[in-house]
Each structure stands twice: as structure tokens, then as C-alpha cells.
Structure 1
């Protein structure tokens, strides 16, 4: 499967079966963040397929060229969750594991909370439960780290700034924040095109719609991974996360890791991720299990 459709939008997707090619393989859906794309998972996906999973990595709404609605309301989390369910339906996956990074993690929390009947497990990289993130805005330095979210509410200006110097300005910023240069260069190409950046920025512009519909607590088995050197997500936000998970929960703090976990920390994440997926599929998995909030 190279594409799937939802709400008259056409999404590009990388569909990688396990080496055995079995149709009975469990499915893992990988959701990228800003300003990434499905290629951000290239270092991590091989470990999942080698473990026997079918891996689906889409370019999300606003990123796929044929899936770029203009209205900011089209980027509310509940609408974005519909895209994920449409992908699973197109793949014939009644249930699936969902893994998300950055904005993709926000979306993964929404999907797991609102559709526990479809989700076998949740893995969130970098970004905690949206309610933990929001609470930390008022109780820690998180608001200072997230100043750009307010700027992104402005019309056209964020796209203009991101496109400066052919996108190289944001590329240098990403490298300073810990991203490898090859990935930063790839994301800079999109940033140079203001039209192509409207959709990605609209994820931020959709935030006011999300505030009206708080994300519920998550009941499915959950793994949350955060880097101690993450410049965008505070330790306070990370440590509030277990308050919003009612099922089994594991927290992994990667010492010295930056925000860019899929690209830069795949080696340290792959083993614990595959273990989490296997445990979530074991008989009796769900509300019972380890809880490591700190």
C-alpha cells in the first residue's frame, strides 16, 4: 500500500511487512512530528519489522501533498485521529499499536484515549499526555519552552520565517536542538516552500479547537520515552504524565538525549519498544503491569 484516502484527502504511506510477509502480522502505525515526515522513522522501523510487525508510516495531514486542507479547524486532534483510523482500515488492521513522536505523540495520545477498542498499545516519544503538557504550562518552565506555539497562531508570518534563506535557518535551529544534519537538511527543503509549510504550521493553529475537547485518560498499555536534554519538553511535563494513564505504564528517561528520538536514539529505543509491544500483546495485558512514573 502506497497511499490511502480519508475525507477526500490522499495520504502517502510507507508500508513495510515483516521478513516473513505473513498476513497475520500485528500492525504498528508510526506518526511523525513537526517538521518531520515519514522518513524520520527509517532508523527505527527495521527493528520493528525484524521483530515480526507490519509497519505503516504515513506522511500526515498537512505533509502529504494531496492532503493539505487550508482551514485550521481541519487540524484538530479528533479530525487527525480520523486519518489514523482510516489508515488502519485501509490496511485491514482492526487493532494496531500506535507510536508517535512530537505532534505525532500528541495525536497518538488522542487515538489511544478515544479509541481503546482499536489500539493495542501506545508509545509516545518526547511529548507526554496533552493534559500533562497543558498543566505543566502553568506549573513549570514549560510555557517558556513553548513560546513558538503562540507565534504559530499568527497568519502567514510563521511560514515566511521558516522559509528564510531557503529553509536553512530552521535547519540550523534543528541541528542546535540536537537533530542530525542529514535529517535537518531534508526538513529544510520543505521549509523553503511557504505553501508546503502551511499545513504543518496549521497543526499549531488547530490548538484552540483541542482546548475545547480535553483528551481523556489512556487505558491501553503505554510506554513514554523522554530525553533529559529535550529543549522543548520540561521534566515537569514528563513527570506529570502518569496522572493521565490508567493502564499499565512505563516511563523511560534517556540520559543526554535530545527531542529528536526517532532519528537520533533509535538504537536505545528499539529494544524497549519491541519489548513493550510484545508485552502489550500477551494474554492479560492491559490495566495490570509496571508503573514507573519517575
Structure 2
């Protein structure tokens, strides 16, 4: 966040279900019924949401965290620690640690992919009052969309396959790791290259390697949580057609909106995300289920 907002954040440690320590950040008024949880993607950390958070901190209690393998959270070395089911449990753990009431969930890139896994669990209706997805489709929805693409969408599906070719590259041993360690990866993304950022990128490769079979093995699950999909028009990783159409058969309350910008629009033009997001949160905040999640609240520890 900017300097003023950064001072308002506090950090604590929350322990995930498998013992991994997650560093969680929060700011804003203590209004649990109006809590927004942000989940970042790859190869980022919680700071990717700074610009959007600055525009919401006056009204909402904001929570973000460094996902496992990123930032100040633990970097487990076991590839199995990055499987989608565990990532979804991380989201639920952080959500439960910050509010007994349903919260708003916002995800980008891999943060959105794992959020889809969380909002399609049996616990989701009592845990989340809305979900906003940016540049990260549900993997099983995407696989279904690709396999059932009509003639109108076959060109779009072919373009998406080409855009997703980097997924195969990330499966190769050693070379992608060297690519990130050398600093070439962050240079190509147009971002400052730091030792911590490079190590995060290497650790995060396990996201792709641990979940490579998910599109083929995970059956699409219906989502009863209200969903907003924001689809950047110039996103080179996720096409608008995939982002906006893949969820249609599976989400009962779906809103889709194209926005200007590329894959990291929320960094480059945060107002293009914060404005439609603010409207969506306002429309669904009062409709959240009143049922509290009656579970023991995980105890926070000061972040180290």
C-alpha cells in the first residue's frame, strides 16, 4: 500500500491446517460483517493489492495474506503442500481467523484459482457472502469450456491454448527455476528483481507442478456464492471469453464485466478494479447469510 495505508496495517501469524505459518495483514474498521479478504496470485505477494486496498480501507475491514511460498509466509518444500485442496483450506483458515460472519473474497490469478476451490466447498455458503474473480478461472470450469467450445469459440479456445503454453514450460525440471533465479522472469514482467521475489517465484512453481492434473481429474462443482468476474480486455494469460463464459453453467448468481487493462490491472490502474468491486460489495454485503460459523477461532500470533 501507499505510505499512509501501510502504517494502518497490522500483521499476525495464522497456522494452516498442515502446520504451515501464514502471515496475515489487516487494516480498516473492525466491522466483521463487512470484511474483504484478498488473495494474490503468482509470482506476487499481498502487496499486489495495495492500490485497490487504498480505495476501500475507509469503509471495509481489509484482510490479505502472503500465500504459502510467498512473502513472509512459510515456504514449504513438499510439492504436495501446494495442492489445490490445501490452498482452499488456507483461505478458509484465514477467513475464520478474522471473522465469525460471512466475508467477501477477492482473488487474482492463482489467488482466484484457489478461491474458486474454496467457494465451491460445502462450507462456502456460510463462509462467503461474495467472491470476485480476476484473471484466474476455476481449472475444472476452464477445462469444460475448452472441451465444449462451439464453433463460435474455437478460435478463442485456440488462442487460450497458445496463451497457456507457459504451463508446459513450468513443468520442466530445473530450467524454469533457473529462469526465475537469474532475474529474467521479473525482468520480462517489468518488475523489480529482488532475491526474495526470485525465491518466491521458484517456490511458487509448485503451484503448477502440484496441480497439473486438476483440470482432468477435478469435476466441476456448482457455486452458490454470488460471483463477480472482472475480465481485463488486454489480459494475455486469460482470455475474456474464458473468464466470462466458463463459469456460466456452474454459478447460480454470476455477474461478468470486462474492464480495460492487462493481467495486472489492479496494480497499474487500481481504480478499474476498485470501482466495480465497491459496487458489487455494497450490493451483496447486506444479503450475506446471518448464520455465524460456529467454530473455534484460530489464535493469532505476532508475525515474525
TM-score range, shorter chain: 0.7 to 0.9
Q: How far apart, CA to CA, are the structure 1 residues paired with 2:101 and 2:213? A: 28
Asked whether the 8 Å contact 1:119–1:220 carries over to 2, the reply is: yes
Q: How far apart, CA to CA, are the structure 1 residues paired with 2:39 and 2:146? A: 24
Q: How far apart, CA to CA, are the structure 2 residues paired with 1:24 and 1:104? A: 22
Structure 1's 26 and 284: CA in aligned 2 closer, same or farther, altered over 3 A?
A: closer
Q: Relative CO higher for 1 or 2, CA cutoff 8 Å, sep ≥ 6?
A: 2
Aligned twin of 1:290:
none
SS of equivalent to 1:116? helix
Deviations 1:127-165 (A, max 9, x none): 23323322455541211101111121223321111122x
Aligned twin of 1:226:
231
Aligned twin of 1:29:
37
Structure 1's 23 and 251: CA in aligned 2 closer, same or farther, altered over 3 A?
A: closer
Structure 1, unmatched stretches of 5+, are 176-183, 286-294
Q: How does 1:108-187 map to 2 (within 5 A)?
A: 108-114=115-121, 115-138=124-147, 139=154, 140=157, 141-164=159-182, 167=183, 169-175=184-190, 184-185=191-192
Asked whether the 8 Å contact 1:11–1:59 carries over to 2, the reply is: yes
Aligned twin of 2:209:
205
Structure 1's 214 and 261: CA in aligned 2 closer, same or farther, altered over 3 A?
A: farther
Calculate the aligned-residue CA RMSD, in Å. 2.2
SS of equivalent to 1:237? helix
Asked whether the 8 Å contact 1:132–1:238 carries over to 2, the reply is: no
| Structure-2-length-normalised TM-score | 0.80
Asked whether the 8 Å contact 2:181–2:198 carries over to 1, the reply is: yes
Asked whether the 8 Å contact 1:110–1:215 carries over to 2, the reply is: no
Structure 1's 220 and 191: CA in aligned 2 closer, same or farther, altered over 3 A?
A: same
Q: How far apart, CA to CA, are the structure 1 residues paired with 2:46 and 2:88? A: 17
SS of equivalent to 1:34? coil
Q: How far apart, CA to CA, are the structure 1 residues paired with 2:127 and 2:266? A: 24
What is the aligned counterpart of 1:68 among 50, 72, 75? 75
Structure 2, unmatched stretches of 5+, are 1-10, 148-153, 290-304
Deviations 1:30-69 (A, max 9, x none): 0001111100010001222222x11111000111455222
Query: How many residue pairs align between the two structures?
Result: 266
Structure 1 window deviating more from structure 2 (32-41 vs 59-68): it is 59-68
Aligned twin of 2:5:
none
| Structure-1-length-normalised TM-score | 0.83
Structure 1 window deviating more from structure 2 (149-158 vs 116-125): it is 149-158
